[in-house]
Structure 1
Amino acid sequence: MNTQSLPNLPDTDEPTAVVIDVTPELARVWLRANTRNRNTRERAVTEYARDMVAGHWNLNGEAIKFAYDGSLLDGQHRLRAVIEADATVQMLVVVGLPPEAQETMDTGRKRTTADVMGLRGETNAHTLAAVLRRVWAWDHGDKKFGGSYSATNRECAQLLAERPDIRRSAEIAVRTRQAFPHIPQSALGTAHHLFSRLDAAAAVWFFQRVADGAELPVGHPILALRARVTSERLDSVRMPEARHMAYLIRAWNAVRENRSLDRLVHPPNSAVPDPK
């Protein structure tokens, strides 16, 4: 096999780069040259395909790579995503590489959503990224943040463009955590955004009281929340993030319903409630 046997590729033994519109049909043919590669990660294929369908896949310099003998060295996930998305995507393609070059591919550190937010100059980039990923998961039915797939960097950027108020949720999460360090910023920011959809002013007051616990009567749900997470933190209980979310939502719902709570309980493995 050599690159001459693969359509749309230049026939050369020297490293050569070209930009090609990769169709699903072309991707299928090229994947026949995928004779020695790592196992496919279906989650990555699905995430790439979602970005391609949404039009978020840009020409970014990352290449599909072929050896001079015609074997596919790098790009199987992107090619499979083209097929899954049933989309034509412009890609950089490099041919004529030595087969042993595959051993040094994909050894760099993956760019995270926090990296992307930082490059954009966003304040509280790490917290903002965490909140964006969890709001996206929540809106896609994953209320325990443990689903089989998660938001891509481009999906998080699109979510921020659609809901710029998430920046404010990240800011409040950071401030609340500084005052009351027993709930993760990601859960605080996600909960603030969800609560703000229902009543923005009430959400501001709720998180102020989570932070300081000031002027709350005995039996107030926020006092029960603060006592519960403080107790579990002091006991070194490893709490999944979904339980923090459940505690926040149960306290919020009780406040909204004007109910007293002497003790906050969320049974293990039970569903995370919806805020009201």
Structure 2
Amino acid sequence: MPRNTVPGLTREKPEYTVVEVTPKLAEKWLKQNTHNRKVRENAVFGYARDMEAGKWAENGEAIKFAKDGTLLDGQHRLHAIVLSGVTLRMLVVTGLEIVTQETMDDGRKRTVADALTLRGVPNAVQLAAITRRALMWKQGVYRNVGSRPPTNAETLTFLGEHPELKDSTSIAVSLRKAVALPSSVVGLTHWLFSAIDKDDTDWFFDRLGTGANLEQFHPVWTLRKRAYEISNEPGRVPEDMLLAFVIKAWNAYRDGSQLRLLRFTPGGANPEKFPQPK
């Protein structure tokens, strides 16, 4: 099929139009997608979820076509419109030189931390990371990986629903120099534990930071010791292992038990289930 068969896309010079892009129109335009990078399914799924939830922002980013009608930029958005079944207003630019595609999407993608910084929110980087992990945890993703990572819109919406994450982030930042654990782990566990028992959480994290009045093999004593041992070992320990250690220490503290060793073995013949705070 020739690349200029979609009516109205061929132009000799750049023109700018706002168009109501329906799923049917998006399918037509995708037939002109003959000169583009490989589609990233995770991006399409994320965009589609935002569109279905009404969280897609009309931010001026354009769907772009070359002079001959070739789709240059916007394939992921168009695939998401088809997948979601949602009609959206889009800025459409036609009549571009095909070589301009080499300069498209050349900037760094804005992150949740960027959005929070623009809002003037303190500890934006740490808050973004902790909110993302909290949302993943609620979705049943306990390790910092997943086939469906949260979108910026989903993460910001979750933060709006759980403003207490800002308090957990403040605690994590305040303990950054005292505890050999990532802020994302400290912030996430503080948020999880606070929903179970606020007084126990306050005591647990106060002692985690100070180490004061802890007997040998008290769960917090063992956690502090293990965290510092790991921080001095070569290589990088996965975040989910450290997260499991904190939860195990918390559970032992809540049970009133001593804790001599901290281990987590998610692989092998008998993989250990990820611990849940109680």
Normalising by the residue count of structure 1, what TM-score does the alignment of the two structures yield? 0.95
Shift of 1:178: 2.1
1:81-121 alpha-carbon deviations (Å, 9 max, x no partner): 11111111111111111111111111111111111111111
- Within a 5 Å distance, the mapping from 1:127-138 to structure 2 comes to 127-138=126-137
In the other structure, the counterpart of 1:218 is 216
Gaps in structure 1 of 5+ consecutive residues: none
Give distance in 2, aligned partners of 1:132 and 1:76: 29
Corresponding residue SS for 1:179 = coil
Normalising by the residue count of structure 2, what TM-score does the alignment of the two structures yield? 0.94
Give distance in 2, aligned partners of 1:122 and 1:107: 27
Letter in 1 for 2:48: A
- Within a 5 Å distance, the mapping from 1:193-232 to structure 2 comes to 193-232=191-230
Letter in 1 for 2:237: M
Distance 1:210 1:237, change over 3 A: farther
1:114 aligned onto 2:113: yes
Assess if the C-alpha contact under 8 Å between 1:22 and 1:91 holds in 2. yes
In the other structure, the counterpart of 1:92 is 91
1:160-189 alpha-carbon deviations (Å, 9 max, x no partner): 110000001111001111222x10001111
Corresponding residue SS for 2:175 = helix
Letter in 2 for 1:99: I
Letter in 1 for 2:167: R
Corresponding residue SS for 1:77 = helix
Shift of 1:14: 1.6
In the other structure, the counterpart of 2:65 is 66
Shift of 1:219: 2.1
Letter in 2 for 1:92: L
In the other structure, the counterpart of 2:185 is 187
Assess if the C-alpha contact under 8 Å between 1:2 and 1:68 holds in 2. no
Give distance in 2, aligned partners of 1:126 and 1:271: 30
1:271 aligned onto 2:267: no
Assess if the C-alpha contact under 8 Å between 1:52 and 1:85 holds in 2. yes
In the other structure, the counterpart of 2:49 is 50
1:143-176 alpha-carbon deviations (Å, 9 max, x no partner): 0121112111111110111000000111100111
Give distance in 2, aligned partners of 1:236 and 1:85: 46
Shift of 1:263: 2.0
In the other structure, the counterpart of 1:6 is 6
Assess if the C-alpha contact under 8 Å between 2:181 and 2:227 holds in 1. yes
Give distance in 2, aligned partners of 1:194 and 1:59: 34
Assess if the C-alpha contact under 8 Å between 1:246 and 1:266 holds in 2. yes
In the other structure, the counterpart of 1:101 is 100
Give distance in 1, aligned partners of 2:149 and 2:207: 32
In the other structure, the counterpart of 1:78 is 77
Corresponding residue SS for 1:145 = coil
Give distance in 2, aligned partners of 1:67 and 1:87: 25
Assess if the C-alpha contact under 8 Å between 2:10 and 2:69 holds in 1. no
Q: 186-195 or 228-237, which moves further after superposition? A: 228-237
Give distance in 1, aligned partners of 2:221 and 2:234: 20
Shift of 1:11: 5.3
Assess if the C-alpha contact under 8 Å between 1:138 and 1:145 holds in 2. no
Assess if the C-alpha contact under 8 Å between 1:243 and 1:272 holds in 2. no
Identity rate, percent:
46
In the other structure, the counterpart of 1:258 is 256
Shift of 1:6: 2.2
Corresponding residue SS for 2:176 = helix
Shift of 1:235: 2.0
- Within a 5 Å distance, the mapping from 1:146-157 to structure 2 comes to 146-157=145-156
Shift of 1:205: 1.6
Shift of 1:218: 2.3
Letter in 1 for 2:218: H
Shift of 1:2: 6.7
Assess if the C-alpha contact under 8 Å between 2:169 and 2:187 holds in 1. yes
